[in-house]
Every structure is written in structure tokens, then in C-alpha cells.
Chains A and B, each alone.
Chain A
């Protein structure tokens, strides 16, 4: 067992903190107090206060969860659809591969934000529609990576040997292909999580994400823009919180990419 890397510690701290924060805040932490409206950051209110005199640190902390949950749901759905599809295309080859890849190409041609705005424009704002639309964009991405990784493994000597020995195709995939593509897939899935976080934040910023009663970081930025000149902290802090989370996830994904890349493997792995 290796010691957890700095990237792991960072991602666990940041994600855990953001998920736990709304439950840990003392009741009334974000109570309104018109007398204390738009105070700049100080020792008593490290992130300052908002238009209604609410403590902004409490608001920023409470706004992390909705985006994380949407991004997690999106990533899970995209992985559940995209990875099996890609592995199937790569392992089956032939006509199956051709059909799957042609369908995925349609998915690539429509940028994620364009598809999501169109879907939400038809259904109206809805978390379920948002997750579905984003997952529909990221599933092809995971499928393409899964297909490429599977294809690379299918040519390996141990797969050819298993085939020659008459092993059934699904057993070859389960025993030989999947374990050796896991690294690539985990890395790519983590990256999809960071794309989904950014996409959700952008859609919230555009007014199509979570609703005002339940603001996410993107939404807080929208509210901060008219006050840019008088209260820049209203935009700086929620944006910085989002960037911190995405950087942590990206660093972790990069580290996985290095640790699981067979070309960089440092012992212990085949």
C-alpha cells in the first residue's frame, strides 16, 4: 500500500468539505441582516456579506453541493452507458464497431453546452433533464476512450493466447481486457467529472441550472456581476471555490494517468 499522494488528500479534503459543509453550518449562519449588507471581507466575515447582509462564507459553502451532485450523476450515467458501449465496439469489431462509432460521431458533432441548452429550452429547467443532456454528450467521449483502450488490449499476446485456447469472448473481456484498461477508464471518468462540473456551473450561470432558491456557484456569479464595481468579493469567492474543486479533480486525474500508464509503471503492475 502506497502512501496517499498529495493529489488524493487534496481531492478528498475539497470534495468532502464541500459535500459536508451545508450540514456542518450552524443554523442561522446565513441569516439576513440588512444592517450588515455588502460588507467587505473582514475577520468576522471572511468572505464578506451579500446584498441581504447574509454571511457570504456560509452561502458559498452551501452552494457547492448542487453542482457536485449533478456532476456526479452525469458522470455515473455517462460511464454506465459509454464504457460498456465502447468495450463492446472494441471487442466485437466488425459491423457492431462501425455502427456504434457512427452513432457516437453524431454525439461528438453537437457540443455539450449546445445540446444541454437545447434540451433545457424544450423541457424547462430540470435537474433530471440537465443530467440526461450532459450524460448524452459525455457518454460518447468515454465510449471512444473505452473502445481505443479495448482495441489496444485485444492485440496483446495474452488475449490472443486466451482466444487460441478457446476462451469465450465475454470471459476474455472480463478477465483480460477490463482489468488492463481500468487505469485509462478511471482517469477519463475523473476528467468527465471535471467537465461536468464546469458545464453545470456554466449552465447555472446562464440561468438554466439549479433554481435560485438553491443557488450553485455559477448562479452566485450571475448575481455578483451587476455588483462587480461595489462588491467584487461576491464573484471572486464562489468562482475560486469552483476552480479549487476542478483543479483538485484534474490533478488527481493527471496523477492517476501517470500512475496507471503502463509506460510509466513503477513495479507491482504487469
Chain B
């Protein structure tokens, strides 16, 4: 197990490193570039060159990357090139502030996705081929086809405008007012939760149908185990492994939803920081945010691999 952990951690580190090279290359080699963005399109080549020299961008790319990486390892991602109140803020601060919003939002969204998707998927499996099953798969197709901004819009329309139950604007930080923060992120979390419930429900249904037809469940039934016990002990457990996998694999999809709802509901999370950085051509921030998103994806999937062993003792990681 320790050996397995070591190799997986090493693989994750190499992958994150590769993404950081990609992010670095993206900012350096795409048309545009920091100096051009700062000076505007009418700047003469000589002016651009001067600013490049001042920013150290005229040195060999490998040297620049090594320097960036050296500082990034100490969590120093440079300072923001954005204007206004953000000018000169360390990128690491922007990211930390963003994560304080994004992490609770993503966790609540995932919790809602599992809380909605898992029971629906199991209910569909229990009545496979009948009305409930067909209703659940139709709902899943529609949910998967909903862009987050549209579902968010409809939820605002119903819960904020018509019913007036939940606020759609007015941000409060989690540190200042945890309960208020929870109220504010409820609609955005519901938006990504409902959309992400669809893959969870589909996966849970498929897995439960397979487990329910399997040998252990048939034996348990023959042995006279009550249906509730069969479902909780065997079917739910068998469905958990694929459900956890799909939650891990859907993290990228979830992040897309998080970026959209943060900007829609004006939540100052990582996705909002990223869009502001893109609008302001704030290269150091863009570069760092890509790496943070990728690192989150890689680490969640690493965690999923480790969870397997905990959920299903029969699964032993290779080499462990």
C-alpha cells in the first residue's frame, strides 16, 4: 500500500508539473503576450522589446520557467497584473481567497449531486424497465443537456424572484458570517448539484442493476435476507465504487459549472478570479489558476483511487 501510494503521488506530481509547463507555454507562445497587452496593439516593436527586457521576458524560456517553478514551489506565483484594487496583489493571495469560496461551493455541489443522484439511480434500478426507471433516465438526459447558466437562471426565477426564499446577490464571506455564506452559495450549489446528479444517477442505476443480478445478491435472497438488508448491504455497496469513480472523473465537468455559477452569482471564487484575470490579461494569475485547477483534478482522482480500497476491500491496488 505504501509503495502504491508513493508511485501514485509521484505520478500526480509529474502530471501537475507537465500542466505547469503547458500553462507557461500558453502564456509565452500564444499571440498577444504580456508586453503587447500592457502597451496596447499600437505599440511599436521597439517599445514591446523594451518592456519585455524590463519584465525579464527576453531571457531563454527554460531559464524563465525554472525561475517561475522555483518560486511557485514556495507558493510565490508573482503579483497580479490586473488594474484597480487588485493591482500588485500577490497571486497566491488571490488564489487563497478564491479557494475559500470555491472549495465549499464544489463540496456542497457534489454532496447535492450524490444526495439526489444516488437514490434516484437506485430507485430506477429497483424498478428497471418500468415508469420510474424511464422517468429517471429522461430526467438525466435533460439535466445533462442543461447549461449551468440556464439552470441557474431558472432557479433564480423560481426561488429568488417568485418565491423570494433565497438571495441571488449580496456576497458575505464565510469567515464573517458562515450561515449567510451558506445561504448565498445554496442556489449556485443547487445548480451544479442538479446537473452533476445526472451522471451519478446513470452510473448508480447501471451498477445496481448489475449487482442485483449477481451471485451474492441471489444467494442472500435465497438465504431469506429481507430486501432492505440486501439493498443496503450488497447493492448500495456495489454501486458505490462506480459512483465514486464517476464523481472523480466528473470533477473537470464540475469545475466548468463552478466557473460559470461563480461568475453568474458574483461569488469571488477561483472561477471568478480566473475570468477577471482573462479579461484583464493578467498573465501570472491565469498561469497559476490553470495549475491550481489541474492540481485539484489530479488530487481528487488520486483520492478516488485510494477510496476504492476503503469501500471495497476486494480491490487491492497493484503493487500494494
Contact = CB atoms under 8 A, between A and B. Distances in A.
Interface of A: 105-106, 108-115, 117-124, 129, 194, 198-199, 201-202, 205-208, 218, 221, 224-225, 228-229, 232, 235-236, 239, 242-243, 246-247, 250-251, 254
A255 to B, nearest CB: 11
Contacts, number: 143
Interface in B133-185: 141-142, 144-150, 153-154, 156-157, 161
Interface in B255-301: 255-256, 259-260, 263-264, 274-275, 277-279, 281-283, 286-287, 289-290, 293-294, 297-298
Nearest to B254: A111
A140 to B, nearest CB: 11
B281 A117 contact: no
B30 interface: yes
Contacts of A207: 279
Given A106-B19, A239-B153, A250-B145, A118 B264 contact: no
B142 A123 contact: no
A232 to B, nearest CB: 6
Given A111-B256, A225-B153, A254-B141, A198 B294 contact: no
Interface residues of B, number: 51
A118 B156 contact: no
17 contacts: A109-B16, A109-B18, A111-B252, A111-B293, A113-B256, A113-B259, A114-B274, A117-B278, A118-B289, A121-B278, A122-B32, A194-B145, A202-B260, A235-B157, A243-B146, A247-B145, A250-B144
Contacts of B15: 105-106, 109
A250 B141 contact: yes
Interface stretch (B20-28, B213-221, B226-234, B307-315): B20-28
B259 A114 contact: yes
A225 B18 CA distance: 39
A122 B281 contact: yes
Contacts of A229: 161
A205 B290 contact: no
Given A114-B293, A247-B145, A239 B150 contact: yes
Interface string B37-77: 00000000000000000000000000000000000000000
B31 interface: yes
A113 B298 CA distance: 16
B141 A247 contact: yes
A202 B256 contact: yes
A202 B147 contact: yes
Contact of B252 (A112, A246, A254): A112
